[in-house]
Amino acid sequence: MTNKSIKSSTMKTFIIAAITADGFIAKNASHTPLEWTSKEDKQFFSQRTKQAGVVVFGQNTYKTIGKPLPGRLNIVYSAKQYEGVETTQKPPEELLADLEKRGFKEAAICGGSAIYTMFMQAGVVDTLYLTVEPVFFGQGMNLFNKEIDAKLILKSMKKLGDTTMLLEYGVEN
């Protein structure tokens, strides 16, 4: 499957992820980024997702966080219910159309691999923010867990503090 489907919503949607210098987002499904990302990455994540107003997670990622992030609508992909968050099983286009009807203009797709892949394959992602942290895992979870066929436009590169590189990419749809 590719990311060539037509975007039905005018919502802006971005992926936000911290990656190691060798390209991993975690060692395994229960490994939280809080253990290895910089304070600058955490600050950028907090500021950019609050600006968007909506954070979307998969269930595995939500379990590593354990509670809703304050000041944002929290949406978790799950068949179960969790206190303080909305859970959904909707296809990405449908979720984004619903959010747009509710007055949201942007959604932050916050992982993990399964959720990044689902949104990328649906062709609804406009932008990716990747913060590259100066660590290697050697093996682990990739940003995506299925085939993706996407071309990107490098929009900006910014050093965050002494250690971290923030890359902003646009997706050529």
Residues that bind ligand NAP (CB under 6 A): 17-18, 25-26, 29-33, 57-61, 64, 77-79, 89, 110-115, 141
The smaller minimum CB distance to ligand NAP, of residues 9 and 131, is found at 131
Minimum CB separation from ligand NAP for residue 69, in Å?
12
* Nearer to ligand NAP among residue 78 and residue 163 (C-beta): 78
- Residue 64 CB, shortest distance to ligand NAP, in Å, is 5
Minimum CB distance to ligand NAP smaller for 47 or for 89: 89
Q: Answer yes or no: are the C-beta atoms of 14 and 125 closer than 8 Å.
A: yes
Taking the least distance from each CB to ligand NAP, the nearer of 12 and 31 is 31
Residue among 116, 121, 164, 113 nearest 140 (CA): 113
For residue 125, give every residue at least 6 positions away whose Cβ sits within 8 Å of its Cβ, in sequence order, or none. Answer: 3, 13, 14, 15, 109, 119, 171
Using CA atoms, how far apart are residues 80 and 120, in angstroms rounded to an integer? 24
CB of residue 66 vs ligand NAP: minimum separation in angstroms?
12
Reading the block at residue 43, the tokens are: 């600050």
